[in-house]
Amino acid sequence: MIGVPRYKVILVEHDEKWAEEFEDVKRTLINIHDKNVIDIQHVGSTAIKGIMAKPMLDIAIVFKSITDSIIEAMKKNGYEYFGEVATGKHHLFILRGEGGVSLQHIHCYDEKTLGQYFDQIKFRDFIRSHPKYAKEYELIKQELFELYSNDRKKYTEGKQLFFDKIKQLADKNFN
């Protein structure tokens, strides 16, 4: 994995090796957390074949419960802890490589608060099964990259309207 410098945006062509890397990380996370893991999913653009993506893995993991021991185990294995994101929605850990580049974003969910987790899965699955929307998403990402290559926060915020649109379409199709 190439990784992405802090606060920056890089987009590269899809790489089939990302799925293999996800499987390796999944095995590692299961080894670290054992029976507390309920589910681990590859999310984010690297999980969508055929579209450009930031070259870092986004992984969603569901725990029976998130405890201090989970946080400590992640830190012990090289992950930087960023606390609760959007209070109560999930905990974020980042694995950095040489030069501080982001290699993995691990989004950790407690099984009692899974709304955002399911939104990520629905988005990924809908985009995977609708090539027209996958291409639209890629174009939006490229436009935002041109505007905000040095501001990852604005780049991410710029995708929110599209995410909301797909969430509504996915809710109609999957319900």
Question: What digits encode the pLDDT tens for the residues 88-121?
Answer: 678 999 999 999 999 999 999 999 888 889 999 9
- pLDDT tens for 137-175 read 999 999 999 999 999 999 999 999 999 999 999 988 765
Q: Is 44 left (phi over 0), alpha (psi -120 to 50) or beta?
A: left
Q: What pLDDT score does 173 carry?
A: 76
* pLDDT interval class at 55 (50, 70, 90): very high
Cα–Cα distance, 122 to 156 (Å, whole number): 18
At residue 116, the pLDDT reads 87
Flag whether 99 is in a domain.
Answer: yes
pLDDT tens column, 28-46 = 999 999 899 999 999 999 9
In a domain, 93, yes or no: yes
* Residue 132 in domain: yes
CATH of the domain at 89: 3.30.460.10
Within-domain flag for 4? no
Number of domains in the chain: 1
Q: How confident is the model at residue 86 (pLDDT cuts 50, 70, 90)?
A: low
State the pLDDT at residue 83: 87
137 neighbors 126 (Cβ within 8 angstroms): no
Q: Give the residue ranges of DSSP H helices in the chain.
A: 17-33, 68-76, 115-129, 131-148, 152-158, 160-174
- Against a cut of 0.85, is the pTM above it? yes
- Tell whether 34 is covered by a domain: yes
pLDDT at 114: 85
Q: Indicate whether 11 belongs to any domain.
A: no
Tell me whether residue 147 is in a domain: yes
The pLDDT, as a whole number, for residue 84 is 86
**pLDDT attached to residue 60:** 96
pLDDT given at position 37: 96
Segment 6-36, tens digit of pLDDT? 889 999 999 999 999 999 999 999 999 989 9
Query: Rounded to 5 degrees, what are φ and ψ at 112?
Result: -85, -10
In terms of residue numbers, what domain contains 51? Answer: 17-174
Q: What is the mean pLDDT of residues 113-131?
A: 92
Q: Is residue 2 part of a domain?
A: no
Rg of the chain taking only CA atoms, in angstroms = 16
